[in-house]
Amino acid sequence: MNYFKSFVKGNEEAQPTGTETVARLCDRISSSTLLEDRRDSVRALKSLSKKFRLEVGSQALPHILQLLRSDASDEDICSYSLETLINLTTVEDDEEGDTIIQSEFAMSFIEKFIDTVENIMLVLEMIERYDFTVRWSAIRLLTSLLRGKPSVVQQTILVQPMGISRIMDLLSENREVIRNEALLALIELTRGNANIQKIVAFENGFEAIFAVINEEGFCDGGVVVEDCLMLLLHLLKNNSSNQQFFKEGTLIQRLSPFFDISPESSWSAQKNANIHLMLKVIRTLVSPSNPSNFLQSCQLAMQQCNLLAKLSDLLMATGVPTDVLTEIINTVSEVLRGSTENQHVFANVMAPWEPPRSALVVLLMSMVNSQQPFFLRCAVLYCFQCFLHKNATGQSQIIDTLLPSSLEPHDVSSGQLLCGGLFAQSDTLSNWLAATALSHALHSNEPAKCQLLRVQLATAPGNTPVTLLRQLTSIIQQTTHLQTRIGLLNLLCCWLSNCPIAISHFLDDESTVPFLLSQLAVSGNDRDLLVNGVCALLLGICILDNDGSITHYSKESLIELVDARVGVENFCDTLGCVSQHDLYAKALQKHQPTSDTPRNLLFDYSFAKLFKALEDKITKTVSNLEDIKKEEEVKAAMKAHDSIITEYKTLIREQDSKVAKLQSKCAKLEKDVQETESLLKDRDSQVQQLKDQYNLMKLTQGDDSSSTMKQIQDLLAENNKKSEELASNAKRIKELENEVEKYVAIANEHSPMQDKIKDDCMENGVSEENESFDLKHYKELEDENKKLTKEVEECQESVRRLTESEVLNTAKIQEQILICDAIRKEQEDLLILLSDQETKLKDYKQKLANLGEEVSDDETDSIGEDEVVDDENSPSDQ
């Protein structure tokens, strides 16, 4: 206020000068014809604009706007004008005087300025000017306008064609100052405006950002890298489309080089800031609230590009500032959460220690170490929680380390560390953290809950070992520390829920129920009441999931006890204490366990979830004892009913199985029938074929034999004929021989005569004539004789030939008869086969009938008929 007074007072004295000077300058701007004059005036205005913000702001704006249009070509005038506007729209922290009032002036001026859309467009035009000072001033003016009235300016730029592109282009400016200013402008431009964020991403914003980060030297780069990361964060935060684009553009891989940090490197504040922002970028991509598909592929990409490995290395490195380390642990947690593959990779990360220890064990050491900073310890719990989220194998492995095993005695296991934390005497935060961590090893894992029941503790040398469950209950009863008590109670709630065996173990300890009931009646402040609330929850769980195996603490008897001791209504109110508490509401908001102070760390997300799920159920169950009893009765009735139903069910099941069997049998039989039918058909066709063959054979055989017969007959006839011929020929030969003999006799008679004649002739020629006549006659006879002889020979020849052919024919006939015999035999075989087939057929039919398949009479008949027809046909064919 002092300054305001002095300002007002000063105004009173300087008012004529201040206002007048501004008025005079404005007048000169509008009226002077000399460029120099206008330039000087606006320069003067600029220098006055800080001190006389109100005067300049109220009078000069129209003149400056006029100047920017009319003297746009003069770089100095433009830059002075823009600088004046910047002075009017910004309030610097180190400015003297009341910054609140100054800010109000600045805001009202901004409102006045952006009231006209053309003014913003004018600034955008100035950004396109190449001159350094003009462009530089224009981009700074835009930033301050955006800071003042973001939504209006954003909306105006958004609808300007190329509005965003013009600013994006500045990211590739080689004049770094302008590029850096453009980054600042873009940070403001993208703040909370998804549409602009998407356009910036579309305009290769991510690439441009990475280019700058690269150029500036990644995490060792200065504030410019911080600005880049801030812009990156704006583009990705709450913008699933851009996140998708980022992932699809394989840009996650580009984040990896950022964590190539040598262990010896120094850790400046700037580097810390840069790394913090980069971790925020990563956590934006793997935030538990992201859609699971997207989240998983991001987690996997981070593992595959070695980002997870680099972060794990940093976890184990020395010299990393605690705040950075804490944030790295939180980031690693979310990269692991629910990703089986990443969890597996992380389980194998070893700390570079001697001997090497698993990173998980090293982290747990920090968690249960009271010397470590609170937030770091919370981060380790978160990491442990995320590592075990949907990781049944990991959970079992943790539980296994608590069971007696072949573990080397000097080796530190996570189980040992957790137990150490659970029972640490002077560190209640350790108790709470270890209890919560252990509850994550049990979460939704019934076998692990049962396994944990086996854990025995050696409390002191010489003492008999005591179960973990009993040790926990006794500590809960003995401790005076709220945080320890609530932590252990939380663990018990998680352990006992959905695990009737654990409940019966718990109830078996005589002291537990009385303690819980007495605790419900204790009064105290709101924090103490939280203990009562959690006790009520634990009792509620014992009621809800009670299997009745501890008879005196059955469901009903517990409710009756509660009612008798504290009253049902009171019990429900006590339960309600938790859900009404701030700490509970806070825990429910975030997966990551956080708290402003260590002592306020009483609930975590999964406990709050459990509570939320059970509160209503417990209230209903407890307040309806009558109902429960009725329910029990109904249940008993139902049980009886159930047993009947079960009987019926078994009956039905049996019948079902029978039906199924029969169905399958039936199907088999049907198949058999089909097969048999097809076999029958085959056989039928075979029979038919055979019959046809038989007929055909009969026919051909008949033909054969008849033709052979005929041939034989023909041959015989021929034979006879030839024989006759032969006989006639022989007869003739005989005749001819007789004749020849006659002639020979005649000749012999004649020969003496002949000789005489010859002699006579020799004597006288008279007889010569006679002689010649005789000779002639003789010759003739001789010729005839020759002819006849020849004929006889011919006849003999033909007889021989005929005899030959007869022999041949006889052989042929013999052959035919043989063939005939063979065919007959074959025929007989076929007939035997046929009768075989028929008996088989009859068998099949019989079988079919036996199997229950109806074999219609038609079938038998038709088969019979066929046979009859065939039989009828056969002779006619023959």
Q: Where do contacts with other proteins occur on this chain (CB under 8 A)?
A: 158-162, 164-165, 194-195, 198-199, 201-204, 207, 241-242, 244-245, 248-250
Instruction: Give 160's DSSP letter.
Output: S
CA-to-CA distance for 684 and 690, rounded, in angstroms? 10
Shortest distance in whole angstroms from residue 154 CB to other proteins = 12
Shortest distance in whole angstroms from residue 204 CB to other proteins = 6
- CA torsion 452→453→455→456, rounded to 10°? 160
Identify which of residues 196 and 435 has a Cβ nearer to other proteins in the complex: 196
Shortest distance in whole angstroms from residue 195 CB to other proteins = 4
CA-to-CA distance for 875 and 878, rounded, in angstroms? 5
Identify which of residues 165 and 589 has a Cβ nearer to other proteins in the complex: 165
The secondary structure of 613-677 as a DSSP string is HHHHHHHHHHHTHHHHHHHHHHHHHHHHHHHHHHHHHHHHHHHHHHHHHHHHHHHHHHHHHHHHH
Identify which of residues 203 and 768 has a Cβ nearer to other proteins in the complex: 203
Rg, the chain, Cα only? 62
Identify which of residues 47 and 160 has a Cβ nearer to other proteins in the complex: 160
Identify which of residues 297 and 796 has a Cβ nearer to other proteins in the complex: 297
Shortest distance in whole angstroms from residue 196 CB to other proteins = 9
CA-to-CA distance for 566 and 448, rounded, in angstroms? 34
Nearest to 170 by CA among 116, 134, 219, 117: 134
Q: Which residues pair with 351 in a beta bridge?
A: 357
Identify which of residues 244 and 624 has a Cβ nearer to other proteins in the complex: 244
In this structure, the number of other CB atoms found within 10 A of the CB of residue 96 comes to: 10
Shortest distance in whole angstroms from residue 224 CB to other proteins = 22
Shortest distance in whole angstroms from residue 283 CB to other proteins = 21
Shortest distance in whole angstroms from residue 334 CB to other proteins = 23
Identify which of residues 114 and 164 has a Cβ nearer to other proteins in the complex: 164
Shortest distance in whole angstroms from residue 213 CB to other proteins = 17
Identify which of residues 205 and 533 has a Cβ nearer to other proteins in the complex: 205
What's the CA angle centered on 522, arms 518 and 526, to 5 degrees? 140
What's the CA angle centered on 503, arms 498 and 509, to 5 degrees? 165
- Extract the tokens encoding 282: 């990563």
Shortest distance in whole angstroms from residue 250 CB to other proteins = 8
CA-to-CA distance for 865 and 305, rounded, in angstroms? 86
Q: Phi and psi for 457 in degrees, rounded to 5?
A: -120, 140
> CA separation (Å) from 394 to 267, 297, 344, 385, 440?
35, 21, 9, 11, 10
Identify which of residues 164 and 315 has a Cβ nearer to other proteins in the complex: 164
CA-to-CA distance for 781 and 746, rounded, in angstroms? 11
Nearest to 601 by CA among 381, 283, 363, 398: 381
Q: Phi and psi for 452 in degrees, rounded to 5?
A: -65, -25
Identify which of residues 155 and 595 has a Cβ nearer to other proteins in the complex: 155
Shortest distance in whole angstroms from residue 311 CB to other proteins = 23
Nearest to 496 by CA among 451, 545, 550, 549: 545
CA-to-CA distance for 872 and 251, rounded, in angstroms? 94
Nearest to 254 by CA among 301, 198, 295, 311: 301
Shortest distance in whole angstroms from residue 136 CB to other proteins = 24
- Residue 457, H or E segment: strand 456-457
Q: Are 136 and 178 in contact (CB under 8 A)?
A: yes
- What is the three-class DSSP state of 144? helix
Nearest to 331 by CA among 297, 300, 287: 287
Identify which of residues 241 and 706 has a Cβ nearer to other proteins in the complex: 241
Shortest distance in whole angstroms from residue 245 CB to other proteins = 4
Identify which of residues 249 and 500 has a Cβ nearer to other proteins in the complex: 249
Characterise 747 by phi-psi region: left (phi > 0), alpha (psi -120 to 50), beta (else): alpha
Identify which of residues 209 and 486 has a Cβ nearer to other proteins in the complex: 209
Q: Are 114 and 145 in contact (CB under 8 A)?
A: yes
Shortest distance in whole angstroms from residue 160 CB to other proteins = 8
In this structure, the number of other CB atoms found within 10 A of the CB of residue 467 comes to: 16
Identify which of residues 209 and 534 has a Cβ nearer to other proteins in the complex: 209
Shortest distance in whole angstroms from residue 166 CB to other proteins = 11
Q: Are 477 and 470 in contact (CB under 8 A)?
A: no
CA 373 to chain centre: 41
Shortest distance in whole angstroms from residue 209 CB to other proteins = 14
Identify which of residues 305 and 795 has a Cβ nearer to other proteins in the complex: 305
Shortest distance in whole angstroms from residue 457 CB to other proteins = 53
Name the pairing type of β-strands 456-457 and 350-351: unpaired
CA-to-CA distance for 778 and 191, rounded, in angstroms? 162
Residue with tokens 């296994």: 400
Identify which of residues 152 and 347 has a Cβ nearer to other proteins in the complex: 152
Nearest to 506 by CA among 555, 571, 457, 550: 550
Helix axes 269-285, 223-236, angle to 10 degrees: 10
Shortest distance in whole angstroms from residue 50 CB to other proteins = 37
CA-to-CA distance for 48 and 88, rounded, in angstroms? 10
Identify which of residues 201 and 325 has a Cβ nearer to other proteins in the complex: 201
